[in-house]
Structure 1
Amino acid sequence: MSIHLKNASIGFGLSMELLSKIASTDITIRTKANYDYIDKILEGTVGFKSKNDLHQFQNNGMMYFFPDNNNILHVRFVGEYNEKDIRTFVNGINYEYNKIAYHSKNNNNQSLKSQEEKKIKLEKKRIQKMEEERLNIEKQLKQKKMKEYNEFQRKNNTLQSEIKFEEEKLQKINNRISSDFLEESKKLKEIQREKELLEKEFLKENESKSKELLEEEIKLKEKELELKEKYENNNFYDNIDDDLIVVEDNSNSIIISSNLTDKTIIDSVLSESYLGFSSRKELEEFQNIGSIKINRNSAGTYDFIFAGEYDESRAKKYVEDITDEYALEIQERTYLKVLEKIKEKDMSLESEIIDKENSIVLTINI
């Protein structure tokens, strides 16, 4: 049974006695679908092979559909549901929503293309009219420029005469400055000689002091090397690349390796998925038990380091959930890329099937 809840509370008016009889599973999962498309999505098999399989799954209990503040669809399962069927159902919702959004986008593009063609025709007429106006203005400008050019030539001739007069005047000034410059150069040379003599005297007076300063500098260098050697012998950090996270040695840490290689997809999963928890709050409570660091190892994959009072089995389950969501994210991105390629090659999509392993099988007409 399915119930849509646009503005209802989670209690739904069920008594605790009735709820306890039907609910061995009570979990809420956030999907990637928009709540407004739920009726359209449920018209399909939603990840199952047939409508009959879907109905059998729905009859295991109660399903409640409701949006969050961003209108993203959440599904609450209350009843005898198993984890595999829940995952199939949620993946089916995400898959159907992506397909609906993709086809809706294509239809909008066709409508926009028709509107753009009309706009182009109107724009061509407008441009033609503007071109006629431009030619008329250009003709007027040519006439105006001829008048301005003649006036410019007259003023230019006058200006050239004035410039010539000023150049002759400037040449006289330069000649006088050159003479003064020679005299100043002689004075500057004399001052330079006096400066050199004073520097020699200063060096002699400070020669003994310089030796003492040099000895002090050598002592400081030796002290610096000694401190540096002590620091290196007591360093608890590994020398790793700038893009790796430095992890302090901690005997209480749990380190779990993974085969994940793309940090951007890991970050996307951590920000969008509840990772098996019923809410973001529960997920954050688990994460805040201690600290969880993600470190790329020498093989190019990522290790998860749990520092704090973490249970090892729960930490492994956390990494497994991230790995599952990571695989689904890769599958979704690949699916969208394949659809784009089909469109580019002018081919048509005959059918789409999700098998028991949650793989998508596409049949294409070439």
Structure 2
Amino acid sequence: MDRAARIYLDWNATAPLREAAACVLVQAMASCGNASSVHAEGRAARAALESARAEVARLVDARADAVIFTSGGTEANALALSPGFGPVGAPRAEVLLVGAGEHPCVLDGHRFAPDAVERIPLSADGVADLAWLEARIAEIAPRRALVSLQLANSETGVIQPVAEAARIAHAHGASIHTDAVQAPGRIPVSIRALGVDALTLSAHKIGGPQGAGALVLASGAIAVDPLLRGGGQERGRRAGTENVPALVAFGAAARAAREGLPTESARLAALGPAFEAAIRRTAPGAVIFGERAPRLPNTILFAVPGLRAETALIAFDLGGVALSSGSACSSGKVRRSHVLDAMGVEPALAEGALRVSWGWATDDEAVIRFASVLEDVEERRARRSQAA
């Protein structure tokens, strides 16, 4: 099939590189200069880097000097999820409380001992149980806790009550971080409004290049325990020569995402009912996960009883439509979602989960193509079921 004719519906895994980001990426790669050098070339690289830092800060209503550039969301999460993270001078955290549906880089990428980590339960709709969180933090006291609760789930799109979780955490002397990589450009994100101590961003989720991200702090009064030590880059919080081309492109993508949000969020939301209608029409027995909870305007996770994800993904791919079965870090293995397990979904149904996610280049034709392939998949499944 002609590659140009393919329909890409896996935006939560990675978004296409924005034109503005691609242009500055190429320009920066053609320039020479280490951002830590004092000569003219180095100063030019530093100026470009700091301009990008300011754009990333504006994306989430933060101070530019609170942005720590990293190699991506995974590193940013690992930087925050350490016993040493929290207000300057505070005792080290002894317990880490994480949402049961967090990305694997939060569940497995922290720097706490395994027996010091507990998971915040999810409701059947995928929403974190804040009553459990408040009770558990109170039980832990006077030991200090660190909470990590994602802003929006990459699989279900469910938006978590992070601002309320932050209020609970701070009332009990705990610190709180949120993995916000899926939210910018889709819903408004403000670190001030959320009230968290830090949030994580990833460039390739908003149309920047892969391999660039940031941990954004609420203020300079938040301490981090560096993963990498060396030359003192990023104010001593993350050593290593900055990847100027990728980070400059990150800044361009952040600007585009921020400026496009007022119209893009509504446009994304308008496509959702069309995708859901196609699913309901073709497979009346389909289950849409988290449908009663607030969700991102660009995400649907669904399953058709009796349809396995492996079979469906191959059929969609052959039909020119790119989907996934969940988080990209796990979906290559096509295994059952830990998020759906935490929501109490029956294993047989969870094993058939398919995620549709879309973005700024998605149009009505994508809905038509998706519906057409889904009809073919469902017809073949029905025939096999009858033959059996």
Give yes or no for TM over 0.5: no
Structure with larger RCO (C-alpha < 8 A, sep 6+): 2
Q: Which structure is higher in helix share?
A: 1
TM-score using structure 1 length? 0.20
Bigger Rg, which one: 1
